[in-house]
Amino acid sequence: MSSIHIGSAETLLRVEGLTKVFHTSAGDVRALSDVSFDVRRGSLMGLVGESGSGKTTLGRCLLRLIEPTAGKVVFDGVDITRLDARSLKAMRKRMQIIFQDPFSSFNPRMRIRQIIGEALIAHGIGRSPRERDDIAAGLLEEVGLSADHLSRYPHEFSGGQRQRIGIARALAVEPEFLIADESVSALDVSVQAQILNLLQDLRDRRGLTILFIAHDLSVVEYLCDEMVVLYLGRVAETGPSETVYGTPAHPYTRALLSAIPTIDPAHRCGRQILAGDIPSPLSPPSGCVFRTRCPYAIERCGEVVPPLAPVETAGHQAACIRMEELVVSNRSSTVTPVKAVAGAG
């Protein structure tokens, strides 16, 4: 199948109107709705949101591990949603994933040389078992392990070591783009820092582009250049990390940031506690999907789906009809209370 070329040189990955609907016996579950954002070549982008926001579904749709229902995923000018099986396999050599739990993603009956070697065999890398072992040994050393570990089984390693093996496996085919799906959430804090530093080093050394999926915003602040905030399958806010952390324009982002432990909770945007749970994707709220938990919601929030719109800084966008008020409130620490707004329910 011929490639479909779109996009600019600086943008490595462009997501356009990505939608995923799961058809179940209970009804249609809309996991993603019209998701759009760009990932710059060489950047480290964070994808954040509560459990149930659609982060993992989005990551897997980008690789077509799950087939999108609608929309485009344009990687280096090629729309991968339109590739046939052979072309998609070749593209997957350039796009890899690090799973949240490397233990469950490894075959416990396979040695580490086999786990890493699978990818090499699948993509025709290495002319002999010995050459593939040499490649695997080099990868283990690159991620901070020993070549002697090739003959061991997954259960013989700690959680941090298994995650390093997962990274080595993802690097085996020399990809340009990595998705790290909650890759440090199950690790101790000290081990998290080691893995985060390893990812930064690999990005710099190999020129990787990384999409880092997480629910811990303090980790994303430490690691990422840019970020996308996802809520119930929709993009709430996106932009440079420093800008989003400094002047959040969406009330959901404000709530997530205020939940970060800090000596001074009012340092960024004031303490704002989210009420209730994320709604079911079987029956999402009308209009703005965040309105049922938003302290600033007004009647119009239930009538229109707010589009992503530019804020003040280049590349900063948010989907909120009260965005301008909230941006101003970051400077003055005041926002018009809902009950004072005409028509508020």
Of the chain, the percentage scoring pLDDT greater than 90 comes to 69
pLDDT in tens, 7-37: 445 899 999 999 999 999 989 999 999 999 9
Domain-embedded: residue 162:
no
pLDDT higher for 153 or 222? 153
Q: Which of the four pLDDT bands, split at 50, 70 and 90, describes residue 331?
A: low
Helix (H, G, I), strand (E, B) or coil at 165: helix
What is the rounded end-to-end Cα distance, in angstroms, of the chain?
A: 53
Domain-embedded: residue 330:
no
134 to 104, 143, 188, 206: CA distances (angstroms): 25, 15, 31, 19
Domain-embedded: residue 198:
yes
Position 78 scores a pLDDT of 96
Q: What is the mean pLDDT of the chain?
A: 88
CA pair distance 24, 186, nearest whole angstrom? 30
| Res. 337: pLDDT tops 90 | no
Position 318 scores a pLDDT of 96
Domain-embedded: residue 104:
no
Domain-embedded: residue 16:
yes
| Res. 106: pLDDT tops 80 | yes
Domain-embedded: residue 343:
no
CATH classification of the domain holding 184: 3.40.50.300
pLDDT in tens, 288-317: 999 999 989 999 999 999 999 999 888 899
Domain-embedded: residue 202:
yes
Element of type H or E holding 46: strand 44-48
Look up tokens 């490595």; give the residue.
12
Spell out the residues 6+ positions from residue 295 whose beta carbon is closer than 8 angstroms to its own: 251, 272, 338
Specify the DSSP class assigned to residue 219.
H
Q: Is the pTM of this model over 0.85?
A: yes
**CA–CA–CA angle 25, 30, 35 (5° rounding):** 160
Determine which of 4-13, 66-75, 158-167, 206-215 has the lowest per-residue pLDDT on average: 4-13
pLDDT in tens, 108-120: 999 999 999 999 9
Number of domains in the chain: 1
Range of the domain at 212: 11-94+175-252
Altogether, the residues listed in the chain come to a count of 345
Domain-embedded: residue 187:
yes
| Res. 226: pLDDT tops 60 | yes
